[in-house]
């Protein structure tokens, strides 16, 4: 999937003193994604996270990348090592970095032409966004193709 850039100073503060960052990111993925991320391995080197493993869908791959990247201290995520279960093919969603003044309504208006379609964006990012009213500049979300 490539290398995805994130804002190093934005995101959740998950790192615990004395823990390896890989362990904290893996725990964070498990907390947010449950068993969907059970086969994902994490390596971290000075703000660069490399993910490997097999996922059940493109959506899961995208969410794993976003959850790992929307962590304070992470500047990029390499998702090249994430693969779909054999035989599956799916379209990728577009990634969007939230800027000051954004709302999910404004983002839906921009991408779908209708702000009332913001619940589709919220649902596509439920593991990344806990509350539709609590998004922040620098947070990266996925914009699924309109159905």
By the 8 A CB rule, do 90 and 57 touch? yes
Mean predicted lDDT score pLDDT of the chain: 92
Angle between helices 21-33 and 58-69 (to 10 degrees): 130
Among residues 79, 63, 82, the alpha carbon closest in space to that of 126 is found at 63
- pLDDT tops 80 at residue 68: yes
Q: Give the C-alpha separation, 66 to 129, whole Å.
A: 10
pLDDT band at 90 (very low <50, low <70, confident <90, very high): low
CA distance 61 to 53: 9
Residue spans in the chain of domains classed CATH 3.30.1340: 3-84
Work out the pLDDT band at 87, boundaries 50, 70, 90.
low
pLDDT of residue 19: 86
Specify the domain boundaries for CATH 3.10.350.10 within the chain: 94-143
Asked if residue 27 has pLDDT above 80, the reply is yes
Specify the fold of 3-84: 3.30.1340
Judge whether residue 28 has pLDDT over 90.
Answer: yes
CATH of domain 94-143: 3.10.350.10
What's the average model confidence in pLDDT over 124-138?
92
Nearest Cα residue to 144 out of 75, 88, 95: 95
Residue 65 has pLDDT above 70, yes or no: yes
The whole-number average pLDDT for the span 118-134 is 93
């Amino acid at each position: 999937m490539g290398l995805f850039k994130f804002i190093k100073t934005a995101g959740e503060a998950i790192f615990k003193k004395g823990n390896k960052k890989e362990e904290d990111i893996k725990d964070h993925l498990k907390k947010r994604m449950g068993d969907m991320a059970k086969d994902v391995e994490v390596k971290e080197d000075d703000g660069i996270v490399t993910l490997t493993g097999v996922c059940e869908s493109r959506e899961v791959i995208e969410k794993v990348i976003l959850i790992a990247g929307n962590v304070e201290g992470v500047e990029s995520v390499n998702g090249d090592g994430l693969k779909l279960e054999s035989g599956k093919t799916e379209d990728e969603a577009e990634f969007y970095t939230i800027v000051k003044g954004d709302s999910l309504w404004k983002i839906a208006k921009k991408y779908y032409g209708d702000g009332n379609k913001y619940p589709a964006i919220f649902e596509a990012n439920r593991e990344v966004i806990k509350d539709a009213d609590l998004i922040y500049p620098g947070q990266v979300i996925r914009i699924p193709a309109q159905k």
